Structure 1
Amino acid sequence: MLSKLNELEKTFTVQDDTYHESLTIEGISFSGGVGVGEIVLHQPRSWSHFRSSNSTSYERDRLRLAIREMMESIDDMVKDHVTSAHRDPQEILETYKTFAADRGWIKKIQAQIQTGLTAEAAVDAVRRESRDKYAQIGNKYLKGHLADLEDLANRLIAHLTGEDFPQKDLPSDMILIAHQMGPAELLDYDQRNLRGVILEEGIHTSHMAIVARAMGIPVVGRIHNLLLNLKLGQKIIVDGEEGTITLNPDPIQIEEAQKKSLTFSKWKTELKALANLPTETKDGMLIHLQLNAGLMIDLQYIHDSKVEGIGLYRTEIPFMMHSKFPDVEVQAQLYADVLDHAKGKPVVFRTLDLGGDKIVPYMWRVTDENPAMGWRAIRVSLDRPALLKQQLRALIQAASDRDLNVMFPLITTAEEYLRAKKFLNEEMERAKSKSEIMPKNVRVGLMVETPSIVWELDQIASEVDFISLGTNDLFQFFFACDRTNPNLAHRYDVLSLGYLRFLRLILNQAEVYKIPLSVCGEMVRNPLEILALMGIGYRSFSMNVSSIPAIKRLVRNTNLSDFKAYMENALGTSKGSLREGLKKFATENGLLPPHLL
């Protein structure tokens, strides 16, 4: 990466200064807001020292000293963000510090030193090993945390080499350009001068993106081949609302971006005022909001955001972070920690959703022609019952006189659900026979992610305590559309007439059988789509924390009785997608600001 940046710098210095053409490039928004500034290339630390050493004891001592110095510097960084306004960065850095002190990581470095490597080379070797391991994992959620590992390794190497940071003589209005970044790397820069960040890679759930949102720094990612289109010193606009960047903006574009930035600042102030208010419509209808989670760092938001609980805890994420299969004891401690953090608020544990794009290096690997429709989720668990039974045993032990909510993923037939629940019942009987402390209450549910199970709900209605609608898979299976295929990305719309009618049918089925129903997935990130779901009768949603403020504002501005009448008419008369009509309704009734439509 560094050599690439150095080559680009040489190229930039000889480019023609008369280049003035404006260019807008689409990416993905990781953090809202709008910034205008001068391009600064983020350069990861480098080293060119000897790779071998004649004294392993000397290198171990150097490593020990560098780790201590690094921990002290992270402590200083944490102290700098102990204000309430910066609580998210503080919490994330505490987690980052814990990871930095992980004995497993340090032992791997020490083992490399024992082979004759210098401390720097040992850190680099472990970094490469971790990079290769993460490259085998298809799940983007975990790949987003690779930047944390890179950040940590770079930081430790800098302490070993005595390299100074940050870069000197930076402009007062800078836009950082990077391939990827970790959270601490972002905070190395002077926040007073940082106007935005643009990444070639990354995901919106990464720690860096969470910190950026907390700091109010706009971030746009997934701008592929970004570095080939840049020129040092040129102005650039980062639009975290639209998910775009504009190179060489003209004066009119800069003025519009500055106005938009001011509007966004006012919007953020308005959202903060809603934090402690109930999620209730103008006509008194209560809407239930819960969080999606998969790592301990996610659980801090369960109380800060005033949500009702964790509507989806992805148990496979910790499995994918381990280097070997976690046994019952390890799993039980993890799930108990989750329940402890929830402090009595409900947590819905989804059993392992492995396979497809979620691969763990210590388990079997299956090559499917179409992974999304292949051997994954509950199919893996039912074919490997020991795997499922160990997890259920751990969940039962973790609950220990507390409520336990278990949800099975990708259920396509009633028979699959009944088989999975049978395993749970067997584990409950086993725990009783051993006089273990039992859960206070056990609720069992399933994810509706395929159309087929909708037609069999009558077969299992008496056995199901709740349902969660997984809109990501349900959407792609409804339209027979691979949602990762760029050629199909905009062909089908979740606000199409047929899909909304199908979602209403599912809701009607749940109401007939008196089964509580919630919705999770990408669909509930967008306020306009939440509006449509409320209009057809949905009242419970589970989402990422970043979506909650805008959703709460939408709910509190909506007269649901009026909107339900609008939706009823639209579902009976419209053709194709309802999106444009919904945008018009939302605009005319002041439900959403223009940047969220």
Structure 2
Amino acid sequence: MSVEFESESRKLLGRLRDAMAEDAAGQARLDKIVQLIGHSMGAEVCSIYLFRDPETLELCATEGLKPEAVHQTRMRLGEGLVGRVARAKRLINTPDAPAERGFRYMPETGEERYSSFCGVPIQRLGEVLGVLVVQTKDKREFTPDEVYALEVVAMVIAEMTELGAFVGEGAALSPRHRQPVMFRGVVAQEGAVEGRVYLHEPRVVVTNPVSDDPARERTRLTEAIERLRTTVDDLLESSRSVDEEQKQVFEAYRMFANSRSWLRRMEADIAGGLTAEAAVEKEQSLARTRMSQATDPYLRDRLHDLDDLSNRLLRLLTGQGAETGAEMPENPVLVARNIGPGDLLDYGKTLRGIVLEEGSVGSHATIVARAWAIPLVIRASGITTEALNGDPILVDGEQGVVHLRPDETVQAAFADKIAMKARAQERYASIRDLPAEAKCGTHVGLHMNAGLMADLPSLPTSGAEGVGLFRTELQFLIRNQMPRRAELSALYARVMDAAKGRRVAFRTLDIGSDKVLPYMKPNDEPNPALGWRAIRVGLDKPGVLRMQLQALIRAANGRPLTVMFPFIAQLSEFRDARAELDKALERERILGRPLPETVEVGAMLETPSLGFSPDVLYEEVDFLSVGGNDLKQFFFAADRENERVRRRYDTLNVSFLRFLQQVIDRCNAYGTPLSFCGEDAGRPVEALCLAAIGFRTLSMRPASIGPVKHLLRRCHLGEVRAVIEEAAARGDQSVRPAVTELLAREGWGL
């Protein structure tokens, strides 16, 4: 940028700052801004378009177009040149606007006299708030210096919008962070909760975007950069004990912290009139825009590094670090872009709910949330930008809906919903110690899933008869290095102690797919759910499997031990895994250590192939556990992480039930104990149907045991089975409508 234009840019920003300092309503401030920009750039037209809603842009201020068009002219996202700028988050600079693809003529504005068009997005941290436009009658393309000045001004307008500079009487905008907002996400853990927002990473708000002392701001930036580099060097030094893969990540991180081009861009922004923190945020916003458009995973990771470094630098410049963050409110609901299991465990069970912008239904955070029975909604796009610490929030984990700053009507309806659930919980508590016995006298064993020591206190209070699945991978996922055998043995012993003699089925390490160990080199697989995971990893890395099996044997210390191997797809895999367990038992015998009183060895049936295994499999396994979550996605070829397809297929689909019936019949023929484990086991109607077709053991999250037991005790399984068989004979695709009708007719419903 030329020195002369640097001076003009600073002058313009200075005038904008002075205009913002005036005691004026929001619309008057916007009108003043377009006048200043148009005059400074020698443009006949300057206009500001802002979003009315996520899909609609509105002309909120103009100098040069017809005044009566303000607040009347609107366009959809992607419509016209202005809509294209907003959608693509990129500028359009053309000397002949009418000749451009997508040009839309708006006669009410009087813009037909203007040929040139330069529009830049008004955005903050990747979120587009609107579009800033300048136009001239002459056909001309705006120079790089002029475009740069517009981008700087647009960034300042975005900051002013964030700070509420344009609200008030006659305002173009409603006050940000004050209006009720509803977010639609994806259910990852059911439940309903009312609470207050607690941001995992509070946003840094730049309150002083404009400066007239570039030398001082450059010094502030330089000092902060030096402190940042020292912090990154310390991180790298502390990583000496980790593997080479992690070191490379930290080295890339340090490379960005020492990037001269990054520093030069921020220094240029300061020369143009921005403060140090505003310059950092401007570059961060551009990085986030590039991140959202990047398809290369490596590039996205590197841009994420730059985004994280920018956050650290902003906190150093503003003092708005984690240590100065808000105190956790009562009934906290954690709001974050994403979160790992370690960070989530640090918060403990104090959280009432969790809302994430990203995440997946099988992520580490989801596993922990389910273990704690905390409502979790994922993929609530935009919530971290909109939410503030302490905001009232309602999380509906049944519908995947989040209400931020809800109005009285929504609050009242939600309070009724929570009250109904509380009354239901009272009913469930009254039958806690009663058996899950249907009216026909059939007993169904209800077991709980667990993965943390914190889950075990729920065993006696939930009414569970045992632990049908203990996930052992969480202890591996929350660490930065492989846990030691002695640590695992002590943990597994505590689990058995807490179970007080009840059966605990330990599933060996189930990693891969969406569960990647931070200290294991990731595999670039096109479809990780069908790739190198679970028992495949264990058999290819037998040292890890042996270490875990030894830890389990030592933890048993003479008590009964139940082990099941995950993701067994064929008989040979089960035999190889069992052989590893036999070797571990023999080794412990030679060492003179006490062996388990009994050893049960089972397999998880998560692939259709295992259901069609040779008969000898059913003779060799001590038990089978159907892993419903994975089995359903492979049976229907529908990725459970993909919202477009995962809800298209019903567990009560006749084809799926028919496959399960085949497995039940084969198990019955060979006397092989069988259970069903997964989300569907904890859904009352699904659990009822599973019991009706012959499952006698179901394993679910602790909070589901009460509702499932309540329904089972009210029903006659023979009648339910008859309805299922009639629906199948009619050719119904799913038995759900028929079973639901039966429940309503007999008064068996929840």
Partner amino acid, structure 1, of 2:163: K
Alignment of 1:484-523 (within 5 A): 484-523=641-680
Matched-pair contact (CA < 8 Å) for 2:197–2:391? no
Q: Does the residue aligned with 1:532 lie in a helix, a strand or coil?
A: helix
- Which of residues 557, 564, 568 in structure 2 aligns to 1:411? 568
Which residue of structure 1 aligns with residue 429 of structure 2?
272
- Which of residues 152, 159, 163 in structure 2 aligns to 1:10? 163
Which residue of structure 2 aligns with residue 566 of structure 1?
723
Which residue of structure 2 aligns with residue 581 of structure 1?
738
Q: Does the residue aligned with 1:325 lie in a helix, a strand or coil?
A: coil
Deviates more, 1:575-584 or 1:204-213: 204-213
- Which of residues 309, 313, 327 in structure 2 aligns to 1:165? 327
Q: Does the residue aligned with 2:648 lie in a helix, a strand or coil?
A: coil
- Which of residues 707, 712, 715 in structure 2 aligns to 1:555? 712
Alignment of 1:72-151 (within 5 A): none
- Following the alignment from structure 1 to structure 2, what is the Cα–Cα distance between the partners of residues 220 and 510? 37
- Following the alignment from structure 1 to structure 2, what is the Cα–Cα distance between the partners of residues 439 and 470? 26
- Following the alignment from structure 2 to structure 1, what is the Cα–Cα distance between the partners of residues 322 and 389? 30
- Following the alignment from structure 1 to structure 2, what is the Cα–Cα distance between the partners of residues 389 and 560? 43
Instruction: Label 1:581 to 1:368 Cα distance change in 2 as closer, same or farther (>3 A).
Output: same
Instruction: Label 1:219 to 1:164 Cα distance change in 2 as closer, same or farther (>3 A).
Output: closer
Partner amino acid, structure 2, of 1:32: G
Which residue of structure 2 aligns with residue 373 of structure 1?
530
Residues 482-533 of structure 1, C-alpha deviations (whole Å, 9 max, x = no match): 2222321222222111111101111011101110000112222322211221
Partner amino acid, structure 2, of 1:244: V
Deviation at 1:363, TM superposition (A): 2.8
Partner amino acid, structure 1, of 2:740: K
- Following the alignment from structure 1 to structure 2, what is the Cα–Cα distance between the partners of residues 552 and 325? 39
- Which of residues 577, 599, 603 in structure 2 aligns to 1:420? 577
Alignment of 1:363-402 (within 5 A): 363-402=520-559
Deviates more, 1:477-486 or 1:512-521: 477-486
- Following the alignment from structure 2 to structure 1, what is the Cα–Cα distance between the partners of residues 324 and 356? 27
- Following the alignment from structure 2 to structure 1, what is the Cα–Cα distance between the partners of residues 452 and 332? 32
Residues 557-580 of structure 1, C-alpha deviations (whole Å, 9 max, x = no match): 222222122222223223212223
Instruction: Label 1:422 to 1:177 Cα distance change in 2 as closer, same or farther (>3 A).
Output: closer
Instruction: Label 1:174 to 1:17 Cα distance change in 2 as closer, same or farther (>3 A).
Output: farther
Matched-pair contact (CA < 8 Å) for 1:315–1:352? yes
Partner amino acid, structure 2, of 1:536: I
Structure 2 regions of 5+ residues with no counterpart?
Answer: 1-123, 128-157, 168-172, 205-219, 228-233, 239-249, 255-296, 299-318
- Following the alignment from structure 2 to structure 1, what is the Cα–Cα distance between the partners of residues 718 and 597? 38
Matched-pair contact (CA < 8 Å) for 2:506–2:563? yes
Larger gyration radius, structure 1 or structure 2: 2
- Following the alignment from structure 1 to structure 2, what is the Cα–Cα distance between the partners of residues 412 and 43? 40
Deviation at 1:403, TM superposition (A): 0.4
Which residue of structure 1 aligns with residue 514 of structure 2?
357
Deviation at 1:362, TM superposition (A): 2.7
Q: Does the residue aligned with 2:588 lie in a helix, a strand or coil?
A: helix
- Following the alignment from structure 2 to structure 1, what is the Cα–Cα distance between the partners of residues 723 and 529? 36
Deviation at 1:441, TM superposition (A): 0.5
- Following the alignment from structure 1 to structure 2, what is the Cα–Cα distance between the partners of residues 186 and 438? 35
Partner amino acid, structure 2, of 1:25: R
- Following the alignment from structure 1 to structure 2, what is the Cα–Cα distance between the partners of residues 250 and 46? 24
Instruction: Label 1:384 to 1:3 Cα distance change in 2 as closer, same or farther (>3 A).
Output: closer
Q: Does the residue aligned with 2:456 lie in a helix, a strand or coil?
A: helix
Deviation at 1:325, TM superposition (A): 2.3
- Following the alignment from structure 1 to structure 2, what is the Cα–Cα distance between the partners of residues 450 and 363? 25
- Following the alignment from structure 2 to structure 1, what is the Cα–Cα distance between the partners of residues 715 and 505? 28
Which residue of structure 1 aligns with residue 592 of structure 2?
435
- Which of residues 420, 426, 439 in structure 2 aligns to 1:282? 439
Q: Does the residue aligned with 1:491 lie in a helix, a strand or coil?
A: coil
Matched-pair contact (CA < 8 Å) for 2:566–2:603? yes
- Following the alignment from structure 2 to structure 1, what is the Cα–Cα distance between the partners of residues 585 and 504? 19
Alignment of 1:21-420 (within 5 A): 25-28=184-187, 30=189, 32-33=191-192, 42=199, 165=327, 199-200=356-357, 205=366, 220-227=377-384, 238-245=395-402, 256-420=413-577
Instruction: Label 1:158 to 1:557 Cα distance change in 2 as closer, same or farther (>3 A).
Output: farther
Q: Does the residue aligned with 1:267 lie in a helix, a strand or coil?
A: helix
Residues 118-154 of structure 1, C-alpha deviations (whole Å, 9 max, x = no match): xxxxxxx9xx99xxxxx99xxxxxxxxxxxxxxxxxx
Q: Does the residue aligned with 1:557 lie in a helix, a strand or coil?
A: coil
Matched-pair contact (CA < 8 Å) for 2:371–2:449? no
- Following the alignment from structure 1 to structure 2, what is the Cα–Cα distance between the partners of residues 526 and 9? 43
Q: Does the residue aligned with 1:329 lie in a helix, a strand or coil?
A: helix
Q: Does 1:529 align with 2:691?
A: no
Root mean square deviation, CA, Å: 4.6
- Following the alignment from structure 2 to structure 1, what is the Cα–Cα distance between the partners of residues 197 and 482? 43
Deviation at 1:471, TM superposition (A): 1.1
Matched-pair contact (CA < 8 Å) for 2:332–2:350? no
Which residue of structure 1 aligns with residue 621 of structure 2?
464
Deviation at 1:163, TM superposition (A): 7.2
Deviation at 1:418, TM superposition (A): 1.3
Residues 136-178 of structure 1, C-alpha deviations (whole Å, 9 max, x = no match): 9xxxxxxxxxxxxxxxxxxxx99996877367xx9xx999866
- Following the alignment from structure 1 to structure 2, what is the Cα–Cα distance between the partners of residues 436 and 426? 14
Partner amino acid, structure 1, of 2:632: F
Which residue of structure 1 aligns with residue 146 of structure 2?
none
- Following the alignment from structure 2 to structure 1, what is the Cα–Cα distance between the partners of residues 694 and 165? 56
Deviation at 1:237, TM superposition (A): 5.8
Residues 427-479 of structure 1, C-alpha deviations (whole Å, 9 max, x = no match): 22222222221110011111111111222241223321100001122112212
The normalised TM-score by structure 2 is 0.56
Deviates more, 1:227-236 or 1:518-527: 227-236
Instruction: Label 1:177 to 1:317 Cα distance change in 2 as closer, same or farther (>3 A).
Output: closer
Q: Does the residue aligned with 2:601 lie in a helix, a strand or coil?
A: strand
Deviation at 1:273, TM superposition (A): 1.9
Matched-pair contact (CA < 8 Å) for 2:392–2:406? yes
Structure 1 regions of 5+ residues with no counterpart?
Answer: 54-107, 113-124, 130-134, 137-156
Instruction: Label 1:52 to 1:545 Cα distance change in 2 as closer, same or farther (>3 A).
Output: farther
- Following the alignment from structure 1 to structure 2, what is the Cα–Cα distance between the partners of residues 323 and 185? 18
Which residue of structure 1 aligns with residue 272 of structure 2?
none
Instruction: Label 1:29 to 1:396 Cα distance change in 2 as closer, same or farther (>3 A).
Output: closer
- Following the alignment from structure 1 to structure 2, what is the Cα–Cα distance between the partners of residues 250 and 333? 50
Which residue of structure 2 aligns with residue 121 of structure 1?
none
Matched-pair contact (CA < 8 Å) for 2:183–2:381? no
- Following the alignment from structure 1 to structure 2, what is the Cα–Cα distance between the partners of residues 491 and 482? 11
Q: Does the residue aligned with 1:435 lie in a helix, a strand or coil?
A: coil
| Paired-residue identity, % | 35
Matched-pair contact (CA < 8 Å) for 1:311–1:348? yes
- Following the alignment from structure 1 to structure 2, what is the Cα–Cα distance between the partners of residues 246 and 163? 23
- Following the alignment from structure 1 to structure 2, what is the Cα–Cα distance between the partners of residues 249 and 392? 51
Deviation at 1:252, TM superposition (A): 6.6
Instruction: Label 1:12 to 1:230 Cα distance change in 2 as closer, same or farther (>3 A).
Output: farther
Matched-pair contact (CA < 8 Å) for 1:34–1:258? no
Instruction: Label 1:231 to 1:533 Cα distance change in 2 as closer, same or farther (>3 A).
Output: same
Instruction: Label 1:20 to 1:575 Cα distance change in 2 as closer, same or farther (>3 A).
Output: same
Matched-pair contact (CA < 8 Å) for 1:536–1:568? no
